[in-house]
Structure 1
Amino acid sequence: MAEKKTPPPNNNRQFAVWGLIILLMLIVFTVAQSGASRPAPGETFTFSDFRERVEASEVQSAKIDIPGGVVTGKLRNGEDYSVNVPPVSADPAGEILDGSGVPYEYAEKTEPSVLANILLSLLPLLIIIGLFFLVFRNMQGGGRGGAMSFGKSKAKLLTENTKRVTFEDVAGVESAKEDLKEVVEFLKDPSKFTRLGARIPTGALLVGPPGTGKTLLARAVAGEAGVPFFTISGSDFVEMFVGVGASRVREMFAEARKHAPCIIFIDEIDAVGRHRGVGTSGGHEEREQTLNQLLVEMDGFEGQEGVIIVAATNRPDVLDKALLRPGRFDRQIEVPYPDIQGREKILEVHMRGKPMAADIDVKYIARGTPGFSGADLANLVNEAALLSARRNKLKITMREFEDARDKVMMGAERRTLAMSDEEKAMTAYHEAGHAIVGLNMEGSLPIHKATIIPRGRALGMVQYLPERDQISQSRQEMIARMAMAMGGRAAEELHFGYDKVTSGASSDIEQVTRIATAMVTEWGLSDEIGPIAYKDTDQQSFHPGIGRGSAISPETAKLIESEIKRFVTEAHDKAREILTDKKDDWIALAEALLEYETLSGDEIKALLDDGTKPKRPDLSGGKRPTVSPVPTTKSSKGPKTIGGPSEA
Structure 2
Amino acid sequence: AKKSAPCIVFIDEIDAVGRHRGHGLGNSNDEREQTLNQLLVEMDGFEANEGIIIIAATNRPDVLDPALLRPGRFDRQVVVPLPDIEGREKILNVHMKKVPLAPDVEPRVIARGTPGFSGADLANLVNEAALLAARRNKRLVAMREFEDAKDKVMMGAERRSMVMDDDEKKMTAYHEAGHALVIIHEPAHDPIHKATIIPRGGALGMVMHMPERDRYSYHRDKMHADLATAMGGRVAEELIFGHDKVSSGASSDIQYATRLARAMVTKWGMSTKLGPLQYEETQEGYLGYGGSARTMGSDETNKLIDTEIRDLVEGAHKRATVILKKNIKQLHLLAQTLLEHETLTGDEIKELVATGKIDREDKPGSSQPIAEVKGSAIPKAGRRAVGAAA
TM-score by length of 1: 0.54
Q: What corresponds to 1:274 in structure 2?
A: 19
2:331 to 586, 609, 618: 586
Q: What corresponds to 1:521 in structure 2?
A: 266
Give, in whole Å, the separation in 2 of the partners of 1:390 and 1:528: 57
SS of alignment partner, residue 2 of structure 2:
helix
Q: What corresponds to 1:344 in structure 2?
A: 89
Instruction: Give CA deviations for 1:270-306 in whole Å, capped at 9, x if unaligned.
Output: 1111223458999822222222222222232222232
* Matched AA of 2:18: G
- 1:605 matched to 2:350? The reply is yes
* Alpha-carbon contact 1:262-1:308 (below 8 Å) kept: yes
SS of alignment partner, residue 458 of structure 1:
coil
Give, in whole Å, the separation in 2 of the partners of 1:280 and 1:295: 23
Q: What corresponds to 2:222 in structure 1?
A: 477
2:44 to 290, 299, 310: 299
Q: What corresponds to 1:615 in structure 2?
A: 361
Q: What corresponds to 1:422 in structure 2?
A: 167
Give, in whole Å, the separation in 2 of the partners of 1:503 and 1:486: 13
Q: What corresponds to 1:331 in structure 2?
A: 76
Give, in whole Å, the separation in 1 of the partners of 2:267 and 2:323: 29
Higher relative contact order (CA 8 A, sep 6+): 2
Give, in whole Å, the separation in 1 of the partners of 2:107 and 2:18: 40
- 1:357 matched to 2:112? The reply is no
SS of alignment partner, residue 161 of structure 2:
coil
Aligned residues: 366
Give, in whole Å, the separation in 2 of the partners of 1:279 and 1:503: 39
Q: What corresponds to 2:313 in structure 1?
A: 568
**Are residues 276 and 580 of structure 1, via their aligned partners in 2, closer, same or farther at CA, if it must alter by over 3 Å?**
closer
CA offset at residue 258 of structure 1?
3.0
SS of alignment partner, residue 449 of structure 1:
strand
Equivalent residue runs for 1:77-476 within 5 Å: 256-278=1-23, 284-476=29-221
Instruction: Give CA deviations for 1:395-444 in whole Å, capped at 9, x if unaligned.
Output: 11111111111111111000110100111100001000000011001201
**Are residues 541 and 277 of structure 1, via their aligned partners in 2, closer, same or farther at CA, if it must alter by over 3 Å?**
closer
Give, in whole Å, the separation in 2 of the partners of 1:419 and 1:525: 42
* Matched AA of 2:19: R
CA offset at residue 322 of structure 1?
1.8
SS of alignment partner, residue 331 of structure 1:
coil
**Are residues 591 and 642 of structure 1, via their aligned partners in 2, closer, same or farther at CA, if it must alter by over 3 Å?**
farther
**Are residues 404 and 391 of structure 1, via their aligned partners in 2, closer, same or farther at CA, if it must alter by over 3 Å?**
same
Q: What corresponds to 1:23 in structure 2?
A: none
Instruction: Give CA deviations for 1:336-375 in whole Å, capped at 9, x if unaligned.
Output: 1112222112111221232111111212211211111111
* Matched AA of 2:59: N
* Matched AA of 1:373: S
**Are residues 501 and 278 of structure 1, via their aligned partners in 2, closer, same or farther at CA, if it must alter by over 3 Å?**
closer
Give, in whole Å, the separation in 1 of the partners of 2:258 and 2:334: 27
**Are residues 281 and 586 of structure 1, via their aligned partners in 2, closer, same or farther at CA, if it must alter by over 3 Å?**
closer
* Alpha-carbon contact 2:231-2:316 (below 8 Å) kept: yes
* Alpha-carbon contact 1:442-1:476 (below 8 Å) kept: no
Q: What corresponds to 1:204 in structure 2?
A: none
* Alpha-carbon contact 1:430-1:489 (below 8 Å) kept: yes
SS of alignment partner, residue 29 of structure 2:
helix
**Are residues 595 and 576 of structure 1, via their aligned partners in 2, closer, same or farther at CA, if it must alter by over 3 Å?**
same
Identity %: 63
CA offset at residue 541 of structure 1?
4.2
CA offset at residue 536 of structure 1?
3.9
* Matched AA of 1:501: V
SS of alignment partner, residue 605 of structure 1:
helix
Instruction: Give CA deviations for 1:464-497 in whole Å, capped at 9, x if unaligned.
Output: 0110111111110000001011000000000011
Give, in whole Å, the separation in 2 of the partners of 1:596 and 1:642: 28
- 1:497 matched to 2:242? The reply is yes
Give, in whole Å, the separation in 2 of the partners of 1:436 and 1:584: 11
- Compute the RMSD of aligned alpha carbons: 2.2
**Are residues 583 and 405 of structure 1, via their aligned partners in 2, closer, same or farther at CA, if it must alter by over 3 Å?**
same
* Alpha-carbon contact 1:452-1:460 (below 8 Å) kept: yes
Give, in whole Å, the separation in 2 of the partners of 1:448 and 1:493: 25
* Matched AA of 2:320: A
* Matched AA of 2:365: L
**Are residues 532 and 283 of structure 1, via their aligned partners in 2, closer, same or farther at CA, if it must alter by over 3 Å?**
closer
Give, in whole Å, the separation in 1 of the partners of 2:330 and 2:266: 37
Equivalent residue runs for 1:507-518 within 5 Å: 507-518=252-263
Q: Structure 1: any 5+ residue segments left out of the alignment?
A: 1-255, 621-640
* Matched AA of 1:510: Q
CA offset at residue 642 of structure 1?
10
Q: What corresponds to 1:221 in structure 2?
A: none
**Are residues 282 and 497 of structure 1, via their aligned partners in 2, closer, same or farther at CA, if it must alter by over 3 Å?**
closer
* Alpha-carbon contact 1:279-1:285 (below 8 Å) kept: no
2:300 to 533, 536, 555: 555
SS of alignment partner, residue 308 of structure 1:
strand
CA offset at residue 332 of structure 1?
1.0
* Alpha-carbon contact 1:462-1:642 (below 8 Å) kept: no
* Alpha-carbon contact 2:182-2:320 (below 8 Å) kept: yes
**Are residues 348 and 280 of structure 1, via their aligned partners in 2, closer, same or farther at CA, if it must alter by over 3 Å?**
same
Instruction: Give CA deviations for 1:194-243 in whole Å, capped at 9, x if unaligned.
Output: xxxxxxxxxxxxxxxxxxxxxxxxxxxxxxxxxxxxxxxxxxxxxxxxxx
* Alpha-carbon contact 2:116-2:383 (below 8 Å) kept: no
* Matched AA of 2:361: K
